[in-house]
Amino acid sequence: MNVIDNIKTQVEAVCKQTVSCADILAVAARDSVVALGGPTWTVLLGRRDSTTASKTNAENDLPPPTFDLQNLTTLFGNKQLSMTDMVALSGAHTIGQSQCRFFRDRIYNETNINTTFATSLRANCPQSGGDSSLAPLDTATPNAFDNSYYTNLMSQKGLLHSDQVLFNGGGADNTVMSFATSAATFNSAFTTAMINMGNIAPKTGTQGQIRLVCSKVNS
């Protein structure tokens, strides 16, 4: 959030209370993907910021790493996002890291995991302790936005349980294979999904407010 706050401060200096934090976040997400070699898309602007915040509501909208395919499909479907959208958005795990506590059960207890991959992860994620130890969500190209996340899944190298369920004999298998085979297909689906997600019940017009500081509502 420090990056977003810095952007907001600079924007406010030249264009006071005009550009919302919601729009800044949407543009920053797009530009971060592009900076790492991923696709670009047109970000629709005009969102306004909420006058309230709920940690509980936010967490309820985020899938935990223990979710299975049906849970994921339902959660995304409740936001009018399709299975293709869900699989494409999961591809954002081509970058980033996860703490050991979120994948420990997978590397010690699950069977649909590459044994060499699991063994390598156990070195920094013991069965007891090391909860905050980190591992890349995409071990192949952790610093590039590409489609290797899906080729990892096809080799049973998904870090989280909620990653590998996308390729485990279920209804998402064909989509994963399509994205693994064609970066262009993945990029197209990802940009569509990002636009769809960005259009989930935005506040516009006179709704909400334009926050002066992104971390708090206006006084």
Q: From the annotation, which residues make up the binding site for Ca(2+)?
A: 94, 138, 141, 146
The tokens for 80 are 């009018």
Annotated binding site: 63, 93-94, 138, 141, 146
Alpha helices in the chain (DSSP H): 2-14, 21-35, 55-60, 69-77, 83-90, 100-109, 115-122, 148-154, 161-164, 173-181, 183-198
Q: How far apart are CA 135 and CA 122, in angstroms?
A: 10
Annotated binding site for heme b: 93
The tokens for 132 are 């905050």
Q: Which residues of 45-58 are buried (b: 16+ CB within 10 A; e: fewer)?
A: eebbbbeeeeeeee
CA-CA distances (angstroms) from residue 180 to 88, 111, 148, 152, 187?
A: 11, 22, 7, 9, 11
